[in-house]
Structure 1
Amino acid sequence: MEVKCVCMLLLLLCVEARGGEAPPAGLEEIRNELQQLNTTATEQAVEINTLKERLEAAEQQLKTQRDTPKVAFAASLGSNGIISTKNTFKKLIYKDVLTNVGHAYNPETGVFKAPVKGVYYIRFTATAPTSGLMSAVLYKNQTVQLTVHEPPVGPGSDTAANGAALLLEQGEELYMQLRPNSHLWDNASHHSTFSGFLLYAM
């Protein structure tokens, strides 16, 4: 297209250089076609710039995704049998780790520590005999976030669950506690669990 435009432009200049001589037939058509070619070239330049901007935005998005840590964890109390409390709270240590991508969950302390600021989905389940109180609490730092609570109803067992999307600052901690005079139960089938994953960083 560039060669054609140059040739037509040279032809047009040669014709105009002839001064007052009558223009040859087809000169107006050449001018119109040259104008159309210029318009097309301008439109294509705009389209190319738009595509470049979209490509740069996509590359930046991919870079952000690569730089964002992958975070997901799931753990259960495991084959601990019944865990109970008397008159005090007890931190629950989920030692049987199923998943710990990013290693933000510590199975020695039972604490999940947010590696980046973002929105995380957190969920926990609790199973216990229904002969006694079952009451467990999710804390963010020292603040209650979620609770499961089942009063005693007699022989048998029951499972409760809770979960939510939580905004966590980098370094904030989540952990579970068993309320006073309460109990939980688990075995190798993972009935009582603590899990979560990063939805998106902020």
Structure 2
Amino acid sequence: MKISVSFTLWLLLVSVSANESSECQHTYLQDIYAALREMTASLVQLKADMRFLQAQEQAAQLKTEVDKLKQQQLEQAAQLKTEVDKLKQDLKEQAAQLKTEVDKQKQQQLGESNIGPFRSDTPLIYKHVTTNIGNAYNPNTGVFTAPVRGAYNFEWWVGAFGDGSHASAAVLVKNSEKISLAYERQNQHFGTGSSGVTLLLEVGDVVFLRLVANSLVYDNANHHNTFSGFLLFTM
């Protein structure tokens, strides 16, 4: 009888221990599930925070790029304005230079009035052409071009009229070489200066007169300034 009671009590204890173990296991699983849920929620929040931070970083980077692009556009606009202003200035200077050249060309056309003075040697253009056999002389440029190889004679006269400040001087130029000078200086009244030379020219050589820098010549309808040349013989 004692053995039976003890066995029953042991079974009861085993049953109670099994129930307690099941309850503990259930509670443990609940805790694990709760912890997993918290971890999942934390991961979701962390991902959301990371996306937010990434979005902020991208926005800041984009703003930096936009600011950089704006700065580049401002610099390009400033550079373009500088280039446009420089181009305008160059165009103004070219227009002024062109006007000066036009005025100079007008003054160079002998037969009207005083020509010069100019700051540099300036070609003289003789518009009044008496004889131009073979058209070797160009009345638009004032240049004589040798049509054949040979010996040529050239003569030229300059008119001076009472300008004590400036002499009257014209130099004969062969291609780029200064050959000879006609010179006259008058403090008052009228005077002339002349010169002549014989040159050996090759086909295509050019000969013309230049008004010497800071000098002037006087001319009118009487054509005091002349330039003439002719072929002596071929060679």
TM-score by length of 1: 0.59
**1:140 paired residue number:** 174
Equivalent position amino acid for 2:181 in 1? T
Q: Which runs of 4+ in 1 moved over 3 A?
A: none
The equivalent position to 1:164 in structure 2, one of 197, 205, 208, is 197
More strand by share: 1
CA distance in 2, matches of 1:155, 1:178: 20
Q: Quote how far apart the aligned CAs of 1:96 are.
A: 0.6
Aligned partners of 2:158 and 2:183 also within 8 Å: no
Aligned partners of 1:78 and 1:188 also within 8 Å: no
CA distance in 1, matches of 2:156, 2:207: 12
CA distance in 2, matches of 1:163, 1:84: 22
**2:146 paired residue number:** 114
The structure with higher relative contact order (CA 8 Å, sep 6+) is 1
Structure 2 spans left out of the alignment, 5+ residues: 1-108
**1:104 paired residue number:** 136
Instruction: Within 5 Å, give how 1:38-117 maps onto structure 2.
Output: 78-117=110-149
Q: Quote how far apart the aligned CAs of 1:86 are.
A: 3.0
1:175 and 1:122, CA in 2 relative to 1: closer, same or farther beyond 3 A? same
CA distance in 2, matches of 1:91, 1:78: 11
Higher mean C-alpha deviation, range 102-111 or range 184-193: 184-193
Fraction of identical pairs, as percent: 42
- Root-mean-square deviation (CA), in Å? 1.6
Secondary structure, counterpart of 1:81 in structure 2: coil
**1:125 paired residue number:** 157
TM-score by length of 2: 0.51
Structure 1 spans left out of the alignment, 5+ residues: 1-76
